[in-house]
């Protein structure tokens, strides 16, 4: 089809043709079969765009179609109609499949592995605990927008700096905004916990807006029960909360209270310390992360205390 006719169709559908051009359109529709077919196809696109509930960012559409034009065999046909937004969108749908690309998402999971490590398109590294799922936009045209959604589970994030461009981790309860840092997020049906290891992060968009703009520094932990009371902030040893990344549990000058927290997180055990004075006693060492009995035996020898493991409780006498 002639390049002029493409522009004429675009102008007519956009209601920008003058009287002379309107007459020409009528003549071509009556006599030119090819023009009539192309006009009908374009009109269907126009009508579908006009009645669609989807919204488009026109600035992005212009940018995207420019990119497509540089690659496309139809560059000469499209250059003349860039200013007609609806036809541009139609051209995207017809020639590039770009609308589909804009909605592409990628899902990363750790189904079978104890820990699954992924490198994101911007160089950030994420470690997902078994049973964890995240999702992010995978548009090849817009490229990675540094936003991911933690759908469930626990992940440790090592965020790459990118000229000050923010990185956002969305959870079911709030958003975590970072510039470059390391932190752990644990999201389950009851609560969402964040522990900051390095850098600084901002928590926002809570399900209750009065809790917004919480800034964390290294060593801070925020626990938030869904729909419950205000978020609780406390200082912790961050390494306690990312031990799941390793095959071994490493105690680097941990207090017994720290180790009690490790048992709670790693093994879902409640620790009862009868002699409160030993709670701040510090020890070091390592043990396989999946052998609780071996850890308890070693701890008993170090403390010279009897340790009883009973159901969901560990008692240090």
Would you state the pLDDT for residue 188?
A: 84
Alpha-carbon distance of 315 to 91, in angstroms, equals: 70
Query: What number of residues does the chain have?
Result: 317
List the chain pLDDT tens, one digit each, 317 residues. Answer: 455 566 677 778 777 788 888 888 898 889 888 888 878 877 766 665 544 434 444 455 545 545 554 544 444 444 444 445 555 555 555 444 555 667 788 999 998 888 999 999 999 999 999 999 999 998 876 788 899 999 999 999 999 988 778 999 999 889 999 977 999 999 988 889 999 999 999 998 887 667 788 899 999 999 998 766 788 899 988 888 888 888 777 777 788 888 888 888 888 888 888 887 788 888 877 777 778 888 888 888 888 888 888 888 888 88
The CA distances from residue 256 to 195, 265, 270, 282, 312, in Å, are: 20, 14, 13, 6, 18
In the chain, which ranges are continuous DSSP H helix?
3-13, 19-31, 33-51, 58-71, 75-78, 85-91, 98-102, 256-267, 292-303
Would you state the pLDDT for residue 77?
A: 47
Alpha-carbon distance of 146 to 169, in angstroms, equals: 8
Would you state the pLDDT for residue 249?
A: 79
Cα of first residue to Cα of last residue in the chain, in angstroms, is 89
| CATH classification number, 246-316, choose in 3.40.50.1360, 1.10.10.410, 3.30.70.1560, 3.55.50.30 | 3.55.50.30
Orientation of helix 3-13 relative to helix 33-51, angle to 10°: 40
Would you state the pLDDT for residue 53?
A: 39
- DSSP 3-state of 46: helix
Domain segments of the chain: what residues?
3-101, 105-238, 246-316
Closest by CA to 203, choosing from 211, 300, 68, is 211
CB 151 within 8 A of CB 173: no
Instruction: Please report which helix (H) or strand (E) contains residue 127, including its range.
Output: strand 125-129
- DSSP 3-state of 252: strand
CATH architecture of 105-238: Sandwich (2.60)
Would you state the pLDDT for residue 225?
A: 85
Question: In a 10 Å sphere around its CB, with 0-12 CB exposed, 13-18 middle and 19+ buried, how is residue 239 labelled?
Answer: middle
Orientation of helix 3-13 relative to helix 19-31, angle to 10°: 120
Specify the residue for token string 């928590």: 203
């Amino acid at each position: 089809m002639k390049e002029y006719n493409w522009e004429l169709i675009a102008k007519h559908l956009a209601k920008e043709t003058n009287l002379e051009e309107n007459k020409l359109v009528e003549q071509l529709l009556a006599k030119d079969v090819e023009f009539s077919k192309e006009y009908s196809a374009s009109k269907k696109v126009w009508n579908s765009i006009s009645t669609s509930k989807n919204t488009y960012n026109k600035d992005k559409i212009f940018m995207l179609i420019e990119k497509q034009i540089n690659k496309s065999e139809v560059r000469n046909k499209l250059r003349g109609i860039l200013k007609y937004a609806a036809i541009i969108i139609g051209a995207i749908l017809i020639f590039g499949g770009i609308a589909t690309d804009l909605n592409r998402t990628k899902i990363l999971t750790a189904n079978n592995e104890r820990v699954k490590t992924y490198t994101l398109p911007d160089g950030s590294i994420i470690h997902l605990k078994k049973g964890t799922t995240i999702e992010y936009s995978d548009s090849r045209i817009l490229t990675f927008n540094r936003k991911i959604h933690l759908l469930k589970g626990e992940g440790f994030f090592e965020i790459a700096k990118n000229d000050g461009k923010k990185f956002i981790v969305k959870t079911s309860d709030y958003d975590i905004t970072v510039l470059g840092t390391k932190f752990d997020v644990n999201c389950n049906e009851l609560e969402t916990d964040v522990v900051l290891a390095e850098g600084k992060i901002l928590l926002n968009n809570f399900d209750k807006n009065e809790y917004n703009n919480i800034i964390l520094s290294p060593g801070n932990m925020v626990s938030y029960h869904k729909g419950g009371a205000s978020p609780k902030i406390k200082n912790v040893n961050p390494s306690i909360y990312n031990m799941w990344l390793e095959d071994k549990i490493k105690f680097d000058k941990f207090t017994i209270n720290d180790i009690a927290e490790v048992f709670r997180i790693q093994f879902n055990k409640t620790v009862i310390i009868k002699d409160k004075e030993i709670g701040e006693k510090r020890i070091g060492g390592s043990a396989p992360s999946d052998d609780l009995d071996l850890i308890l035996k070693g701890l008993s020898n170090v403390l010279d205390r009897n340790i009883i493991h009973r159901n969901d409780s560990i008692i240090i006498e």
